Amino acid sequence: MQSASVSKICALIGGLTVLALSPLAAQAQSKTITEWDLQTTTGGAKILNDGGARFEKANPGFKVEQSHIQNDAYKTKLKIAFGANQPPCVFASWGGGPLKEYVKAGQVVDLSSYLSKDAAFRDRFATAGFSTVTFDGKVYGIPAENTVASVLFYNKDLFAAEKLTPPKTWDELMNVVKVLKAKNIAAFSLANKNKWTGSMYFVYLVDRIGGPGVFAKAAARAPGGSFTDPAFIEAGKRIQELVKAGAFAEGYNGLDYDVGASRRLLYSGKAAMELMGTWEASTIKNENPGFYEKLDFTQFPTVPGGKGDPNAVLGTIGDNFFSISSTCKEPDAAFKLIQSLTDDVSAQARLEDKRIIPVKGLKTSDPFLNRVMKLVSEASSVQFWYDQELSPNLAQVHLNTTQALFGLSITPEAAAQQMEDAAKAEAK
């Protein structure tokens, strides 16, 4: 009798063990790959979700967990995840300075070997697409989303009504500001709570005034390079000239780009232009298709006496880049996931969403996209965003001093000096 009860207990324990193990068994069957990105528009998120689904279908046994996170919150979340050593397997970034911090800490997988194994995949992309994710000759990211140039968007109807043409030179721009101001319309809509928005004006002005070499030399601490170069100081002066002329819609330093404060000004006709990355076109098309019909863009104007090429652009070839974190248990599968997220189907879908993944030989009938592609391919140089190119610390100094320039609370000379001091301190 006793042995019977013992065997019963054994059976019970056995049964429980099977029960307890069965979720484990299920887990072993489907491995999870986490992926984080910052595509929060309906179109952008869907393309990535579809890419994830294609990967799951082609690789049974893997499950993809995707999170699409709002721009500014994303930067913080990623930093915390890396700091806690629990980053997602696959993550999007802008390349440049911040990605380099993670690379320096040994937290990002070198993708060079994957790319040399699959040369066909690598050669699909424009070579320039890898420049912001290559450190010491090793590639750490795959260009994923868009080819972006920062351009001067403007409201065609408004310009026509005021008999204005898009400004090609600084003097024309100041005239546009004056004419619109008289009609109580701001020339520019700017949401500068976010700071990187105002930074674009500064970067373009430095490029137009001093050419691309000024920043490159100052950032690399090359001989003769300095953030107190006259080009930086003049850029600050030009910004303050615009501010004093009333070029920016009221409240610019407190408006939030992430909640659409600057676009609202364009839609309502209270502002005529916005300097913004070309991604804005797809945002506007999603948000306000009616206004999209009135939208056109032009290049940033030239500055008298400037050494820069009027065709040089500020932008990025790739926009977002997918990388794999070192803690990822399945890097091979993660790379396959990245391939799915950047495959031809997704490239086509992105075209329809007004975005150009930097893949060679991409054809579209969309005149807007063709103009962007032409703009970038004909550009004598493509300057990357300062706040992403610089180290995170210098980037903050640049963003803060530029916001202060817009607020007229710092002189261009003092702003340049602060930047130079910070760069010197960091180089030590």
Partner 1 sequence: MTPQDTQMTVPSVEKYKSLKAVMPIVVFLVPAVFFLVVFLLYPLISSFQLSLLDWNGLGTGERFVGMANWLRLAQDRLFWKALGNNLELAFFSVLFQMPIALLLAVVLDEASKGSRILKILYFLPLLMSSVALGVVFKNIYDPNFGPINGFLSAIHLDVLARDWLGDPRLALGSVIAVVCWQNIPFYMVLFLAGLSSFPRELGEAARLDGASETTIFWRIKLPHLQGTVRTAVMLAVVGSMRYFDLIFIMTDGGPDGASELMATYMFRTVFSSFQLGYGSTVASAMFLIVTLVAAVTMRLTRRYETEI
Does residue 268 bind partner 1 (CB under 8 A)? yes
Interface with partner 1 includes 421 (CB under 8 A)?
no
The yes or no reply on residue 418 touching partner 1 (CB under 8 A) is no
Options 109, 158, 177, 249; binder of partner 1; rule CB under 8 A: 249
Compose the 23-62 pattern: x for residues touching partner 1 by CB under 8 A, - for all others: ----------------------------------------
C-beta of residue 376 within 8 angstroms of C-beta of residue 362: no
Between 225 and 392, name the residue whose CB sits nearer to partner 1. Answer: 392
Minimum Å gap between C-beta 184 and partner 1 is: 11
Q: In angstroms, give the least distance from the CB of 249 to partner 1.
A: 6
CB of 131 to partner 1, least distance (A): 22
Q: Please state the closest distance from residue 136 (CB atom) to partner 1, in A.
A: 16
Q: Which stretch binds partner 1 (CB under 8 A): 32-40, 42-50, 200-208, 265-273?
A: 265-273
21 binds partner 1 (CB under 8 A): no
Nearer to partner 1, 84 or 119 (CB): 84
Q: x-or-dash pattern for partner 1, window 209-248, by CB under 8 A? A: ----------------------------------------
Q: Which residues pair with 296 in a beta bridge?
A: 154
Binding mask 77-96 for partner 1 (x = CB under 8 A): --xx-xx-------------
Rank residues 77 and 371 by Cβ distance to partner 1 and give the closer one: 77
* Shortest reach from residue 185's CB to partner 1, in Å: 11
Backbone φ and ψ of 280, nearest 5°: -55, -30
Task: Sort residue 49 into left (φ over 0), alpha (ψ -120 to 50) or beta.
Answer: alpha
One of 181, 217, 264, 307 touching partner 1 (CB under 8 A):
264
Q: How many residues does the chain have?
A: 428
Note whether 252 binds partner 1 by CB under 8 A: yes
Binding of partner 1 by 409 (CB under 8 A): yes
Q: Which stretch binds partner 1 (CB under 8 A): 33-41, 98-106, 152-160, 337-345?
A: 98-106
For partner 1, the closer of residues 55 and 91 by Cβ is 91
C-alpha closest to that of 225 among 370, 427, 7, 18: 427
With CA atoms as reference, report the closest residue to 394 among 362, 421, 367.
Answer: 421
Q: Does 192 bind partner 1 (CB under 8 A)?
A: yes
Among positive and negative, which fits the CA dihedral 97, 100, 102, 104?
negative
* Strand-pair category, 186-188 with 271-277: parallel
State the nearest-atom distance from the C-beta of 421 to partner 1, in Å.
12
Q: Closest CB to partner 1 among 186 and 338?
A: 186
Find the shortest distance in angstroms from Cβ 50 to partner 1.
30
What distances in angstroms separate CA 155 from CA 285, 287, 290, 362, one per listed residue? 14, 16, 12, 28
Positions in the binding site for partner 1 (CB under 8 A): 75-76, 79-80, 82-83, 98, 101-102, 104-107, 192-195, 249-256, 259, 261, 264-265, 268, 270, 391-393, 395-396, 400, 403-404, 406-407, 409-410
